[in-house]
Amino acid sequence: MFDSLKSIFSKSEISDSVLVENIKVDMHSHLLPGIDDGVKSIEESIEIIRHFIGLGYKKIITTPHIMKGTYDNTSEIIKNKLQIVRQEIQSQNLDIEIEASAEYYLDTHFLDLLFNGDILSFGKENYVLVEFSYLQKQNDYQNIFMNISQTDYQPILAHPERYAYFYDKNLSQLKQIKEQGVLFQLNLFSILGVYGKGAKMVAEHLVKENMIDFVGTDIHKPKHIAYLDDCLKDKYLQKLLQSGNLKNKSLLS
Ligand SMILES: [Fe+2]
């Protein structure tokens, strides 16, 4: 009897909900149906949201792509879609808060929006989530970040571990970007290797070097739900979540 009790209490495994206590807010996902490469229906959206609730998440800041010519979303389109998802959350009595921002592709269209003040930011710090092309390094990215820093917005680079052209020996280019005042958001699923070995290695390196400010799921479809459960078992990620360095919880209020 005592032996079996001892084995229960000596288990070192940390439960998913204890780990999610350190996140509470997911700030990167594609849960507004039909406006980008994320969920296709309200049912898919709610399926994922229910899973977030089950894990103990309290708030979702969903971030559809704004990428001119590919995902021609506007602040208005995003706000209108958010209302539809909010209504469904209410009608199903689901206990979670949801806001919408965007994942902005860093191009001249983004700069137009920035200078016109037409940015869906989030948090008290006016965070704006930005992404690069995966294929080609943008030559003037340092200027763009300089432009952002001259406004009231605080840039967060989405999944810095996914840009292969930044994979140099000491991650010197990514370090330079951080030194420019850009915050980094790690994709939780990168740690599983779902975006390739390079992204996994760089993710681990960024965690080791304390370069991560936010974590996000970047979840696009219900079939990715299993990744969310799996990644919480990863020791690297567990260490990051328990480090106290993440800013996700500051987005609660
Ligand atoms: Fe994304």
pLDDT digits (tens, 9 = 90+) for 64-76: 999 999 999 999 9
Q: Please tell me the predicted confidence (pLDDT) of residue 14.
A: 81
Q: What spacing in Å lies between the alpha carbon of 91 and ligand 1's midpoint?
A: 27
Q: Cβ(100)–Cβ(63) under 8 Å?
A: yes
- The pLDDT of residue 16: 87
**29 CA to centre of ligand 1 in angstroms:** 6
pLDDT band with cut points at 50, 70 and 90 for residue 253: confident
pLDDT above 70 (res 179)? yes
Tell me the pLDDT band of 11, cut-offs 50, 70 and 90.
very low
Distance 66 CA to ligand 1 centre (A): 10
- What is the per-residue pLDDT for 169? 82
Question: What average pLDDT does range 123-142 have in this prediction?
Answer: 94
Contact of 166 with 142, CB cutoff 8 Å: no
pTM of the model: 0.93
- Inform me whether the pLDDT recorded for 80 exceeds 60: yes
Beta carbons of 109 and 68 less than 8 angstroms apart: yes
* Lowest mean pLDDT, pick from 11-15, 54-58, 200-204, 220-224: 11-15
With a cut of 70, say whether residue 2 has pLDDT above it: no
65 Cα: distance to centroid of ligand 1 (angstroms): 7
Distance from the CA of 215 to the center of ligand 1, in angstroms?
Answer: 12
Bridge partners of 185?
158, 214
Whole-number Å distance, alpha carbon 251 to ligand 1 midpoint, is 18
* Bridge partners, 214 (sequence order): 185
Q: What is the Å distance from ligand 1's center to 37 Cα?
A: 9
99-112 residue pLDDT tens? 999 999 999 999 99
**What's residue 15's pLDDT?**
86
**Close Cβ partners of 82 (under 8 Å, ≥ 6 residues apart):** 32, 62, 98, 99, 100
- For residue 8, how far is its CA from the centre of ligand 1 (angstroms)? 39
Q: Are strands 25-26 and 59-62 parallel, antiparallel or unpaired?
A: parallel
11 Cα to the center of ligand 1, angstroms = 35
CA of 183 to the centre of ligand 1 (A): 16
**∠ CA 185-89-58, rounded to 5°:** 40
d(CA 132, ligand 1 centre) in Å? 11
**In 3D, which of 128, 129, 33, 43 has the Cα closest to residue 80?**
33
- Averaged pLDDT of the chain: 93
What is the pLDDT, as a whole number, of residue 215?
98
Is 96 a residue whose pLDDT tops 90? yes
Q: Which residue has the tokens 């990744």?
A: 227
Tell how strand 127-131 and strand 25-26 pair up: unpaired
pLDDT of amino acid 236: 87
Domains delineated in the chain: 15-251 (3.20.20.140)
For the chain, the residue count is 253
Residue 146 Cα to ligand 1 midpoint, Å, equals: 23
Place of tokens 């967060």: 156
87 C-alpha to ligand 1 centroid (Å): 23
Distance CA(84)–CA(43), nearest Å, equals 12
Find the 172 Cα to ligand 1 centroid distance in Å.
Answer: 24
Tokens of 210: 């304390």
Give the Å distance between the CA of 199 and the centre of ligand 1. Answer: 15
Cα 218 to averaged position of ligand 1 atoms, centre (Å): 5
Distance 155 CA to ligand 1 centre (A): 15
